[in-house]
Amino acid sequence: MERAAVFDVDGTLVDTNHLHVATWWEAFRQAGHKVPMHAIHRSVGLGSEDLIARLLGHRRDPDRDAELSAAHKALYGQYFDRLPAFEDAGRLLRRLDHDGWTVVLATSASGPELSALRRAISADDAITGTASAEDVEKGKPAPEPVERALELAGVPAERAVFVGDTVWDMRAGSNAGVRCLGVLCGGIPRADLKEAGAEAVYDDPAHLLSDLKNSPLA
């Protein structure tokens, strides 16, 4: 039977979480909101609408959410030509593809942002498909992104493993019924990832690749 390795992208395969923190902070600042960076960091991984709602709540005018999202996109877009993939991210995806795994991405990114992330990873030959923000109604921690990835792979949940860096990833994977692996390179503590559903936690893609034979992706 086929088996699927589903990957989050930001903070998991590409070192972008702190870029998102800085650019969201600036977008909020420009709109007159004071939001601490540590709070933004804990919200990275959510879709824009959910991130804004979580951080601003009743303090915001929902009609201006689109403005905030557009400001963040414009600020973050300045980095599209130099997004840094984590060490061995591409090698990990190619190794899994070689080992018979169907590799699929599940991300809240879309459009030019997603294209920039895929260029950074530089492993399109190993990626079967991508479940992006445009493909689902509800983003993480809802299970839809992971469920859509499984549809693209044609693999049931019990034959899949999801790798991510945030509690939102772990909850989305758990809600979809797949085994979840966490990585620390997004900056979220090990204990938080484990509590949210991570079966095992690795430092980064290079660490997972080096210990692949002992992992659920063996």
**Residue 53 binned pLDDT confidence (cut-offs 50, 70, 90):** very high
pLDDT digits (tens, 9 = 90+) for 84-104: 999 999 999 999 999 999 999
Distances (CA, A) of 60 to 20, 28, 119: 20, 11, 35
Q: Taking 90 as the threshold, does the pLDDT of residue 14 lie above it?
A: yes
Percent of the chain clearing pLDDT 90 (strictly above): 94
**pLDDT value of position 73:** 96
**pLDDT value of position 133:** 81
DSSP state string for 88-122: THHHHHHHHHHTTEEEEEE-S--HHHHHHHHHHHT
Q: CB under 8 Å to 32, separation ≥6 — which residues?
A: none
* Cβ contact 215:200 at 8 Å: yes
**pLDDT value of position 11:** 98
Element (H, E) at 180: strand 179-183
CA gap 161, 4 in Å, rounded: 6
Q: Taking 90 as the threshold, does the pLDDT of residue 58 lie above it?
A: no
Distances (CA, A) of 114 to 38, 39, 105, 169: 25, 24, 10, 17
Q: CB under 8 Å to 18, separation ≥6 — which residues?
A: 41, 187
| Other Cβ atoms closer than 10 A to 157 | 16
pLDDT digits (tens, 9 = 90+) for 148-191: 999 999 999 999 999 999 999 999 999 999 999 999 999 999 99
CA angle 3, 15, 97 (to 5 degrees): 20
**Residue 134 binned pLDDT confidence (cut-offs 50, 70, 90):** confident
Per-chain mean pLDDT for the chain: 96
**Residue 120 binned pLDDT confidence (cut-offs 50, 70, 90):** very high
**Residue 1 binned pLDDT confidence (cut-offs 50, 70, 90):** confident
| Other Cβ atoms closer than 10 A to 199 | 16
Helices (H) and strands (E) in the chain, counts: 10, 6
* Cβ contact 206:180 at 8 Å: no
